[in-house]
Amino acid sequence: MRQSSTQVLWPFTQKVIQEINNLQFQIPKIDMHDPDDPEGSDLIWGLVTPELSLSEGEVLAISHYQGQYCATFLLIEAETGNTELQSETNIENKEQTARALAQAFVLYFSQSNSI
């Protein structure tokens, strides 16, 4: 993803990242949405798999549309597109919602990383 000095994460993404950090989980990679795409997704990587030819890893994608957020766990596939694992739409930009999503992220990726 292209990065620029004016590019920032969605406010809800920032809250989720802070809550993940509070849970002492090391996020391997974060990709910010394209600033030219008002509906673009921030990607919080929970699992990065550069050693696999078919998969780049798994992420929590957070997108924004008309004041609402959507969070989707995705498997990022190298050549065939992305596979949606689980999605939640119309998420409110609240601390308690960010905390619950961060807990789900840490639980999911703690289990994925231990396999």
What digits encode the pLDDT tens for the residues 29-77?
999 999 888 888 999 999 998 777 777 889 999 998 888 899 999 888 7
Q: Which domains does the chain have, with CATH numbers?
A: 11-113 (3.90.1150)
Contact 81, 73 (CB under 8 A): no
Read off the pTM.
Answer: 0.82
Percent of the chain residues past pLDDT 70, beyond the cut: 81
Percent of the chain residues past pLDDT 90, beyond the cut: 48
pLDDT at 32: 95
3-state class of 39 per DSSP?
coil
